[in-house]
Amino acid sequence: MPVLWAFAVGGFRRFSRYRAATVAGAFTNTVFGLLRASVTTAVVASAGGTLGGYDTASVITYAWLSQAVIAAVHVFAWTELAERIRTGDIVTDLSRPVDLQWQWLAADLGRAGFVLIPRALPPLAVGALTFGMNLPTAPGPYLFGLVSLVLAVAISFACRFLLNLAAFWLLDLRGPMTLYVIVNNLLCGLLLPVWWLPDWLRTVAAATPFPSMVQAPVDLLGGRVTTPGQMAQTLAVQAVWLALSLLAGRWVLARATRRVVIQGG
């Protein structure tokens, strides 16, 4: 356990060096928050004041919260592991007496821990000042929301980990990664709330772990999901997806290490 903690701290420290990039990222999140809040508000207004369970106030909250969490949850391209596989450095990682998946998970949690506050606070502050936000006043949504967020980060990691493992078989991961990011962005609730998707698309989304990455924590933190029963259900769905994606990752990893093909040079 202390070993994993070391990995987490390492992940945390690595990102503390990217101060300027974090500031720039928070700035981008803020600008996009302004844009998305405007668009979603206009959509709700055009729909007569409420749409898919959102009114103007709650959709604003949704827009800003989603921008606030995506840095930690990292729903974008990520090929670090694939790079190490490509160069053969993966052998060093595999030779450590710590499980590979846990190593990287710990490091990713460390990273998320570092970026969360600096990337979430500025957009939320600007959102509150400009659009006005309706955040819940009870502690429940925040407690459950935080748990949900941790689960979301882990699920996102597990999926990216799984995808990166394809580097053991594919030479170029760019295509699959692009496709992953696109599908992810569409179905996780970043572009638009999952609740606004046409029924057939919502069904598709429910069959993927993506809504658990953004929509779930945002729903909890924003107070859309209010009863303990609903909250528990959301968390349960997340937990199931986390287990599935981690297990899938382990299974693929086992097969990959059995036929380790090292492309070096």
Using the rule CB under 8 A, is 46 a contact of another protein?
yes
Using the rule CB under 8 A, is 34 a contact of another protein?
yes
Closest residue by Cα to residue 153 from 163, 145, 142, 165: 145
Residue choice 35, 117, 207, 232 for contact with another protein (CB under 8 A): 35
Structural Rg of the chain based on CA atoms: 19
Q: Which two tokens stand for residue 85?
A: 């596989």
Residue pair 181/76 in contact by the 8 Å Cβ criterion: yes
Q: Which residue has the tokens 């898919």?
A: 52
Residue choice 4, 6, 9, 39 for contact with another protein (CB under 8 A): 39
- Binding piece for another protein, criterion CB under 8 A, among 27-35, 61-69, 232-240, 253-261: 27-35
Question: Rounded distance, CA 237 to CA 232, Å?
Answer: 9
Q: What DSSP string describes 12-28? A: HHHHHT-HHHHHHHHHH
Using the rule CB under 8 A, is 83 a contact of another protein?
no
SS3 51: strand
Given the complex with another protein, which of 179 and 236 has the nearer CB atom? 179
Q: Give least dist CB 6 to another protein, A.
A: 22
Name the residues that contact another protein, by CB under 8 A: 18-21, 23-25, 27-28, 30-32, 34-35, 38-39, 41-43, 46-47, 51-52, 171-172, 174-175, 178-179, 182, 185-186, 191-192, 196-198, 201
